A and B are shown apart, each in its own frame.
Chain A
Amino acid sequence: MATMHDEIDSWLAGDLHGELSNNERNALHAHLVDCGACRKTHQETKAMNKILEETFAQQKPDPAFEQRILAGFRNRVPQRRGLVKLLVDLMRLRATQITAVAAVLLGLVQVGRMITGEPATAPRERERYVGEQFAAQPSQFPASRAAQSGALAKSDEVAAGRPQDLALKEPPPPAPAQSKDQRQGSAELERTIVTGSNIPTAAEEAAQAPAQEPAPALANRKLIRNATVELEIVSFDNAVQKITAFANEEHGYVATTDSEKQANGKLRGEVVVKVLPENLDRFLQKIRNLGELKNQTLSTEDVTKAYFDTDARLKNAHVMEQRLIDMLKTKTGKVSDLLQVEKELGRVREEIEKMQGELKYWDSQVQFATVTMSLAEKDMEEPAAFLIRERAQLALYAPDVEKIYNEIKSLASPKVQITNAQLNRDYSGRVSAQVNMLIAPEESDAVIGRVKAFGRVENFQTQTQRTAQGGNPAAAGSENARTKRDKVELNIAISREEQEQAFQQTSLRIRTSSVDEKAKELRALAEKQGGRIRSSTFSRDPDGRAVANVSLRVPIKNYAALMQSLYSLGKVENVSVQRQDRTDAQIDEANAPADVSIQVYSQGNIVSPETGLLATLRRTLAQSAGAIMWSLRMIGVAIAFLAPWAIAIIGVIWIARRVIRAKR
């Protein structure tokens, strides 16, 4: 009961407000009987409850309070009427909201497409095209229908069993009196291009064949059919014979043939065949079996309208001609008038002839389809022969350039032709020579061997080139072609030994206290080992450091001994050796030159002037200034990068806050 005692106020409040259950009330009353303090509290609380009840009863709002509040509310929030209410109600509907969101999304997508430049309007255009088709059809239909059925009745070529409605559904032939631009539209080109990869199989072709054959409704149309075929065949003459046979079978004829012989003996040519249009497809299928089909094009040109236009004009011209002749016959009027009539008659006749010629041309074109076949024999690209051309190059080093030069020149014979020989001596007295020669292929190995024996051979290179003669060099894989060896071209460069590159290069440093003395000693050592000094320098700087650079060349057999003796001069440092190994067996390795470049130096005053307090301070300051400048630059970059974002975000927040405030 301790808890009840502690929270007596809550219990008492509950009791006074009638919020205790029966059990709770009994427990409370039992406690009050026991506990004097709580009894006192109970008394006080009861008194206060009464005071509160009385006080608050006075403050209670009057009965009209609700009405007042409601009136005030209606006053301050006027009821929406009519359209605005309807709109607001609409906006409240979930469906409307979803639709609005969808519309906004769609709009965004469209904007995105516009920005990225995708063709968003393509489908709509297609729809419009279809719509136009539908709109155009009915207007043409009734006009053409009568003519069409008439044509059907007249035509003897109508195939039996072909459904009539199919014929009626075909695009109607254009009426003769139509404007010019429409006429151009009707003279359309129907073109089927079949290229290497997607040539239909024979079965597919057979399935398509009935569709390609002229429909009976087209019987009185003037169609010019042309085909071009590109074929690769084994034998040209054979193919031409077969084509002629096929043409005869299909009631056609070979119009022209021409052929051309290539450098490699293969034939290429063109055959033009005229066949009846209705046999064209069958003919093309037969031709296909002749060889490998590379390309096939089939085109149909509809000249119906132009043809009938010309025909009508021709009839008119005939009538005109007749009238003019009548005028001449009656012979009334002045002579000048008669002359005028005569002139007009001439013009009309000329026109008539022109139109007749045109019609005849069209007739001939329509009567026969033209098939142009390009034939090429297989392996057209294969070369006829190969030429092997060899080119050799070598560099010779010899003590006496002139002697060698003369010896090489004396090799000349009918099989060894010297094409170029020159001996150069430059201003510093260096001699070099250049000899170019052409050697018969069978002699080449012997001559090259002899030349090599004249001196130290350096850089011997041979190069063989296989050239195709005739045909395509890319198709050089063929084994049947003949090969031929051409003369070998040999270029020789002769130089003095000094100019030769060292076989091995060594560089090292020797530290010593007396540079002068040691440099002299070094020269003596080199001479002892059969070396020659190539260059030497000596310098001394203000700090007392002396440096001597010596470079010398020794035969490689003495190299090891020289290196050994160098250690007696001082402390040897930084030895680096570079060796150029050549796999050429012709090299005389023992006598090959080795270059050694030696730096003899003393240390002198080794304390750097860049030490001490001031210098250190200066360096530190310079470095920190640099660091500050660098970080300033980085901050600038960061601000430049972030500023636009910050501005955008602040702007959005500002607008959002304005909107929210406006709502309140």
Chain B
Amino acid sequence: MDPSEREKYQAAIHGDREAFEMIIRTHSRTLFAISYGILQNREEAEDVVQDSLVKAWKTRWRVRDPEKFPAWLGTIARHKAHDVFRKRRTVPLSEQVTEPIEPEPANASGLDQKLHSALAALPELHRAALTLRYFEEMDYRTIENSLGLTNGALRGILGRALTSMRKQLRPALAEMD
């Protein structure tokens, strides 16, 4: 890690508000990608990002190693998003009917629908990895950093995610060709 970056994280951990706001600027899109990957809903994902940052500020003293700060932020976002996801499932059926999960009915073409259901079938981590890659076009190292993965694990994860997506979408892909 870049020493200046490390210093920034250290300052944020010690309560430097400016440093923390700088981190918000650089990392909120990553966090958004992670939570969007889980929730597939922009408003909810944005709320999750807000909540995660507030929580991170309040519990920043728990981080010992500044290098792990991004990964820790990612973990908070993932947990928050997961909480929201679980709550959504327990909402009574009647409410679900009035408030459909699908947020973009305008784009609801057949392929889109299938893509979403294929994404939803993926494990959480795979979804987060995919969204990070395609939202932010991040390189593998940065993604690994944000998700707290060890060196080289991401390629396998992305590979597996793509395989399962491909298998589910094969008929639609065939149509496209």
Q: Please report A residues at the B interface, Cβ cutoff 8 Å.
A: 7, 9-14, 17, 19, 41, 43-45, 47-49, 51-53, 55-56, 58-61, 65-66, 68-70, 72-74, 76-77, 79, 88-89, 92, 663-664
The reply to whether the CB of B156 lies closer than 8 angstroms to some CB of chain A is yes
Residues of A within 8 A of B156 (CB): 7, 10
The reply to whether the CB of B130 lies closer than 8 angstroms to some CB of chain A is yes
Q: Enumerate B5-44 residues with CB–CB distance to A below 8 Å.
A: 14-15, 17, 21, 24-25, 28-29, 32, 36, 42
13 A-B interface contacts by CB (under 8 A):
A9-B162, A10-B159, A10-B160, A12-B162, A14-B158, A51-B115, A59-B135, A61-B42, A65-B29, A70-B24, A76-B54, A92-B14, A663-B58
Q: Determine if B46 and A68 form an interchain contact, defined as CB atoms under 8 angstroms apart.
A: yes
Residues of A within 8 A of B81 (CB): none
Task: Identify B15's interface contact among A7, A13, A58, A92, CB under 8 A.
Answer: A92
B146-177, CB under 8 A of A: which get 1 and which 0?
Answer: 00000000011011101101100110010011
Q: Determine if A14 and B155 form an interchain contact, defined as CB atoms under 8 angstroms apart.
A: yes
The reply to whether the CB of B4 lies closer than 8 angstroms to some CB of chain A is no
CB distance from B47 to the nearest CB of A (A): 9
CB distance from A5 to the nearest CB of B (A): 13
Q: Determine if B135 and A73 form an interchain contact, defined as CB atoms under 8 angstroms apart.
A: no
Q: Determine if A17 and B58 form an interchain contact, defined as CB atoms under 8 angstroms apart.
A: no
Q: Report Cα–Cα, A68/B57, bound state, in Å.
A: 17
Q: Determine if B32 and A55 form an interchain contact, defined as CB atoms under 8 angstroms apart.
A: no
Closest to B17 in A: A79
Q: Determine if A45 and B166 form an interchain contact, defined as CB atoms under 8 angstroms apart.
A: yes
Residues of A within 8 A of B133 (CB): 17
A-B pairs with lowest CB-CB distance, top 9: A10-B159, A9-B159, A56-B134, A9-B163, A69-B28, A13-B158, A72-B50, A10-B155, A13-B159
CB distance from A171 to the nearest CB of B (A): 61
**Of residues B25, B112, B139, B159, which shows the largest number of chain A Cβ atoms within 10 Å of its Cβ?**
B159
Closest to B174 in A: A44
Q: Report Cα–Cα, A58/B173, bound state, in Å.
A: 20
Q: Please, how many residues of chain B have a CB less than 8 angstroms from a CB on the other chain?
A: 46
Q: Report Cα–Cα, A45/B21, bound state, in Å.
A: 39
Classify the secondary structure of A's interface with B.
helix
Task: Identify B107's interface contact among A58, A61, A73, A89, CB under 8 A.
Answer: A58
Q: A69-B24, A70-B21 known; A61 and B32 CB under 8 Å?
A: yes
CB distance from A248 to the nearest CB of B (A): 91
Q: Determine if A73 and B159 form an interchain contact, defined as CB atoms under 8 angstroms apart.
A: no
Q: Report Cα–Cα, A72/B17, bound state, in Å.
A: 14
Q: Determine if A44 and B170 form an interchain contact, defined as CB atoms under 8 angstroms apart.
A: yes
The reply to whether the CB of B85 lies closer than 8 angstroms to some CB of chain A is no
Q: Determine if A61 and B29 form an interchain contact, defined as CB atoms under 8 angstroms apart.
A: yes
Q: Determine if B25 and A17 form an interchain contact, defined as CB atoms under 8 angstroms apart.
A: no
Q: Report Cα–Cα, A9/B15, bound state, in Å.
A: 44
Q: Determine if A10 and B158 form an interchain contact, defined as CB atoms under 8 angstroms apart.
A: yes
The reply to whether the CB of B53 lies closer than 8 angstroms to some CB of chain A is yes
Residues of B within 8 A of A14 (CB): 155, 158-159
Q: Report Cα–Cα, A289/B104, bound state, in Å.
A: 121
The reply to whether the CB of B120 lies closer than 8 angstroms to some CB of chain A is no
CB distance from B103 to the nearest CB of A (A): 9
CB distance from B67 to the nearest CB of A (A): 21
Q: Report Cα–Cα, A454/B64, bound state, in Å.
A: 107
CB distance from A584 to the nearest CB of B (A): 93
Closest to A68 in B: B46
Q: Report Cα–Cα, A664/B165, bound state, in Å.
A: 39
Q: Report Cα–Cα, A400/B25, bound state, in Å.
A: 130
Q: Enumerate B58-79 residues with CB–CB distance to A below 8 Å.
A: 58-59
Q: Determine if A55 and B173 form an interchain contact, defined as CB atoms under 8 angstroms apart.
A: no
Task: Identify B111's interface contact among A51, A59, A74, A92, CB under 8 A.
Answer: A51
Task: Identify B159's interface contact among A7, A49, A74, A77, CB under 8 A.
Answer: A7
Q: Determine if A12 and B165 form an interchain contact, defined as CB atoms under 8 angstroms apart.
A: no
Closest to B112 in A: A55
Closest to A69 in B: B28
Closest to B139 in A: A19
Classify the secondary structure of B's interface with A.
helix
Q: A7-B156, A11-B159, A70-B25 known; A47 and B177 CB under 8 Å?
A: yes
The reply to whether the CB of B49 lies closer than 8 angstroms to some CB of chain A is yes
Q: Report Cα–Cα, A92/B130, bound state, in Å.
A: 39
Residues of B within 8 A of A69 (CB): 24, 28, 46, 49-50, 53
Q: Determine if B130 and A52 form an interchain contact, defined as CB atoms under 8 angstroms apart.
A: yes
**Of residues B104, B139, B160, B162, which shows the largest number of chain A Cβ atoms within 10 Å of its Cβ?**
B162
Q: Report Cα–Cα, A72/B57, bound state, in Å.
A: 13
Residues of A within 8 A of B36 (CB): 59
Task: Identify B58's interface contact among A11, A19, A55, A664, CB under 8 A.
Answer: A664
Further 18 A-B residue pairs, CB within 8 A, beyond A44-B170, A51-B169, A79-B17: A9-B162, A14-B155, A17-B133, A45-B162, A48-B166, A52-B165, A55-B112, A61-B29, A61-B46, A65-B32, A66-B24, A70-B21, A70-B25, A74-B21, A77-B54, A77-B57, A92-B15, A664-B58
Q: Report Cα–Cα, A156/B121, bound state, in Å.
A: 119
Closest to B165 in A: A48
Q: Report Cα–Cα, A359/B14, bound state, in Å.
A: 83
CB distance from B55 to the nearest CB of A (A): 8
Closest to A91 in B: B15
Q: A47-B176, A60-B135 known; A73 and B53 CB under 8 Å?
A: yes
Residues of B within 8 A of A79 (CB): 17
Closest to B49 in A: A69
Q: Determine if A47 and B32 form an interchain contact, defined as CB atoms under 8 angstroms apart.
A: no
**Of residues A10, A11, A41, A76, which shows the largest number of chain B Cβ atoms within 10 Å of its Cβ?**
A10
Residues of B within 8 A of A59 (CB): 36, 42, 135
Residues of A within 8 A of B54 (CB): 73, 76-77
Q: Report Cα–Cα, A53/B131, bound state, in Å.
A: 10
CB distance from A280 to the nearest CB of B (A): 77
Q: Determine if A17 and B53 form an interchain contact, defined as CB atoms under 8 angstroms apart.
A: no
Q: Determine if B15 and A47 form an interchain contact, defined as CB atoms under 8 angstroms apart.
A: no
Q: Report Cα–Cα, A55/B140, bound state, in Å.
A: 20
Residues of A within 8 A of B160 (CB): 9-10
Residues of A within 8 A of B14 (CB): 92
Task: Identify A44's interface contact among B49, B107, B135, B166, CB under 8 A.
Answer: B166
Residues of B within 8 A of A88 (CB): 15
Q: Report Cα–Cα, A320/B33, bound state, in Å.
A: 114
Task: Identify A48's interface contact among B55, B58, B162, CB under 8 A.
Answer: B162
Q: Report Cα–Cα, A663/B14, bound state, in Å.
A: 17
Residues of A within 8 A of B173 (CB): 44, 47-48
Q: Determine if B24 and A76 form an interchain contact, defined as CB atoms under 8 angstroms apart.
A: no
Q: Determine if B169 and A48 form an interchain contact, defined as CB atoms under 8 angstroms apart.
A: yes
Q: Determine if A66 and B25 form an interchain contact, defined as CB atoms under 8 angstroms apart.
A: yes
Q: Report Cα–Cα, A272/B119, bound state, in Å.
A: 119
Q: Determine if B134 and A53 form an interchain contact, defined as CB atoms under 8 angstroms apart.
A: yes
Q: Report Cα–Cα, A58/B140, bound state, in Å.
A: 22
